[in-house]
Amino acid sequence: MVAFTRRVAEAEGIDLREIRLHAHARGSIACYDAQASWEDHFVEFCGGQNRETALHELAHLIVEDYHSKTWAVCLMALHRTYLPPARARRADRVLAMEYRSARPLYLARYGHSAPKKSEEPPARKCHRRKTSKKRRRVR
């Protein structure tokens, strides 16, 4: 993840000075928290995040904006450049479902609207594995 983020930052000419990672006890929380600061030149995300999250945060550094149309255009371009085609399409779909600014861009690119968020199956979350301590009866 760190190597991928650095590689993209270098290729895109992003002044990225720091990559911050945080983690949680194994399986104790489903963490989707990430952030970027164009003033302080850093990105931060949970160690379990994927490439789509890294690209999302790097797009903030490129356009120095939040979830605007300009940011969405930039992020969709990063998807096409750094993800395989099927994964880029899925990432664009999720983007359009979650961010209003990306919906018209998705429609223009793919010729149909992204589904409503409720139509998407729930994402898998990382939960602590529950172990049962059932006692065996001795007869």
Per domain, the residue ranges of the chain are: 2-23+31-115
pTM: 0.77
pLDDT of residue 31: 64
- Binning pLDDT at 50, 70 and 90, where does residue 95 land? very high
Q: Is 37 helix (H, G, I), strand (E, B) or coil?
A: strand
The 3-state secondary structure of 59-87 reads HHHHHCCCCCHHHHHHHHHHHHHHCCHHH
- H and E: helices and strands count for the chain: 5, 3
pLDDT of residue 32: 64
Rounded to whole angstroms, the Cα distance separating 97 from 93 reads 6
**Right CATH for 2-23+31-115 from 2.40.50.140, 3.40.50.2300, 3.30.2010.10, 2.60.15.10:** 3.30.2010.10
Of 94 and 131, the structure prediction assigns the larger pLDDT to 94
